Amino acid sequence: MSDSLILEVADIETDVLTGIYSEETGRPQPLRISITAALEPQAFYTPDCPLTASKNYMDLKQAATEGLPKDVHFKLIESVADHICETLFLQDARVKQVTVKIVKLAISENGEHIGMTLTRGRRD
């Protein structure tokens, strides 16, 4: 069994310009975004390990909030997820795989979780 390091942030709520229907276009839609990022772990993590031994979790949150352009309309939430993946790959070469789960909050009528999950591996 090989070692792995998975960083996670879950249930970030943010507004994004997205959608294909007339009632969705032109205004931000509320999304709930969860991200996992797989990194190659160090051999050991000692009590005095510096942050550089891992990745700042806030980078994941930032990729789903400030990292999304406010003036770009993403027709599909898959495009939003792809943008988040690429942002994390560009930030840090140690990121090997990213999974982004997006739930469209505006179309939920009875608490359903309607959305998608995209997993991308580094392509270099």
| Structure tokens, 22 | 């007339």
Sheet holding 28-39, edge to edge: 5-17, 28-39, 95-104, 115-121
- Residue whose pair of structure tokens reads 């009528």 in the numeric block: 109
Residue 12: in which H helix or E strand, if any?
strand 5-17
Per-residue model confidence (pLDDT) at position 22: 73
> Residue 43's pLDDT is what?
84
**CATH architecture of the domain formed by 5-43+53-121:** 2-Layer Sandwich (3.30)
Give one DSSP letter per residue of 36-81, joined into a string.
EEEEPPPS---TT--GGGS--HHHHHHHHTTTS-TT--BSSHHHHH
pLDDT digits (tens, 9 = 90+) for 36-58: 999 988 888 999 999 888 899 99
Task: Point out which residues pair with 121 in neighbouring strands.
Answer: 97
Q: What is the mean pLDDT of residues 60-84?
A: 96
Distance (Å, whole) CA 37 – CA 59 = 10
- For Cα atoms 41, 42, 47, give the angle at the middle one, nearest 5 degrees: 115
**pTM, full prediction:** 0.92
- Any residues with CB less than 8 A from the CB of 60 and at least 6 apart, and which? 7, 8, 9, 35, 37, 88
